[in-house]
Amino acid sequence: MSLLTVGSVAFDAIETPFGKTDKIIGGAGSYIALASSFFTDNQKLVSVVGEDFPQEFLDLLKSRNIDLEGLQIKKGEKTFFWSGKYHNDMNTRDTLITELNVLEHFDPIIPESYQDVDYLMLGNLSPQVQSTVIERLKKRPKFIAMDTMNFWMDIALADLKKTISMVDILIINDEEARQLSKEYSLVKAYKVIREMGPEFLIIKKGEHGALLFHEDKVFFAPALPLEDVFDPTGAGDTFAGGFIGYLASTDDISFENMKRAIINGSALASFCCEKFGTERLLEVTQGDLDQRISEFVTLTNFDLVQTIK
């Protein structure tokens, strides 16, 4: 089935306790598209970059069968740029620079050839841009997934709630779920967020894994314990991309299949943390991914064969 990904394609500059980068490729759209491309060769991208963006990376996306007709290249403008520095625990970071550039007035134009997409993944962007994409699709996709962040809860909560009401699954982290629901318990947070519209909720907990909620069901996927988290930038987007790419390629939105999608997304996200930016993701082979998934199985598998007294 076809997948439409909407998200930023951008430059990042990252500093971690392990080192720092110059401007490298980043953006939610980049990570999602790369991750999805492990599963689907029927992906379309809506995004915007400036004239300064390297053709080389766009060619790379094309080589992974990502349709770029909906990627706007703005003459005379600059690409979105974010710079951040991670603290020693790698769980918190400071934003050093945010240059919106082309994102400031981003109007997500949907090419005619993108109409009739089956799956839609809305990467973290202004909720107004996200809802515009849904409204511009003449036929509602079969399944709409959405990421967001606390920034939009702070400055655009009404817009955000409107967009949330239009999607099937929200994919956010634990801190965001708590802020959005005003509940500390993640079980209660799901109940509040379900009332906002989405039937499914994924709560990402970084090194502690992820939870999938649907009706009265919950699934807990671990994160692979890593010796070093070299650079977590993009891990959440990679997770989301692997998740939606897997769903679109299997065209099965049952709870059971979503579990598989989460395991696949988690496996890809674990690679993402091993090097700066998209570097590690670009090296990963299908064999690497299969091997990593088998590590997830080993990590969580137990057998209650000995009966309890």
242: three-class secondary structure by DSSP: helix
The region of 24-32, 78-86, 161-169, 217-225 touching a second copy under the rule CB under 8 A is 217-225
Residue 89 sits in the site that holds a second copy (CB under 8 A): yes
Distance CA 25, CA 32 (A): 13
Contacts of residue 157, Cβ cutoff 8 Å, sequence gap at least 6: none
Cα-based angle 224, 3, 250 (whole degrees, multiple of 5):
60
Distance CA 122, CA 291 (A): 29
Buried-exposed string 191-226: b where 16+ CB fall within 10 A, e elsewhere: eebbebebebbbbbbbbebbbbbbeeeebebebbee
The region of 27-35, 70-78, 113-121, 203-211 touching a second copy under the rule CB under 8 A is 203-211
CB of 135 to a second copy, least distance (A): 31
Q: Which is nearer to a second copy, 158 or 308 (CB)?
A: 308
Pick from 188, 137, 129: which is nearest to 156 by CA? Answer: 129
Which of residues 63, 88, 92, 285 is near a second copy by CB under 8 A? 88
Q: Which is nearer to a second copy, 25 or 221 (CB)?
A: 221
237: three-class secondary structure by DSSP: helix
CB of 263 to a second copy, least distance (A): 6
Which 181-200 positions form the footprint of a second copy (CB under 8 A)? 184-188
Which of residues 154, 199, 228, 283 is near a second copy by CB under 8 A? 228
Residue 227 sits in the site that holds a second copy (CB under 8 A): yes
CB of 189 to a second copy, least distance (A): 10
Q: Which is nearer to a second copy, 134 or 293 (CB)?
A: 293
Q: Give the Å distances, CA to CA, from 139 to 120, 129, 159, 197.
A: 12, 18, 22, 19
Residue 148 sits in the site that holds a second copy (CB under 8 A): no
Strands 10-16 and 24-26: antiparallel
Which 233-292 positions form the footprint of a second copy (CB under 8 A)? 246, 249-250, 252, 256-257, 259-260, 262-264, 286, 289-290
Residue 154 sits in the site that holds a second copy (CB under 8 A): no
Tell me which amino acid residue 268 is: L
* Phi, psi for 41 (deg, rounded to 5): -110, 25
CB of 303 to a second copy, least distance (A): 7
Residue 90 sits in the site that holds a second copy (CB under 8 A): yes
Q: Which is nearer to a second copy, 95 or 185 (CB)?
A: 185
Structure tokens at 115: 């109409």
Residue 218 sits in the site that holds a second copy (CB under 8 A): yes
Residue 221 sits in the site that holds a second copy (CB under 8 A): yes
Which of residues 78, 219, 274, 279 is near a second copy by CB under 8 A? 219
Buried-exposed string 154-164: b where 16+ CB fall within 10 A, e elsewhere: eebeebbebbb
Contacts of residue 283, Cβ cutoff 8 Å, sequence gap at least 6: none
CB of 225 to a second copy, least distance (A): 5
Residue 129 sits in the site that holds a second copy (CB under 8 A): no
Distance CA 229, CA 219 (A): 24
**Site residues, a second copy (CB under 8 A):** 38-40, 88-90, 184-188, 205, 208-209, 211, 217-222, 225-229, 246, 249-250, 252, 256-257, 259-260, 262-264, 286, 289-290, 293, 297-300, 302-306, 308-309
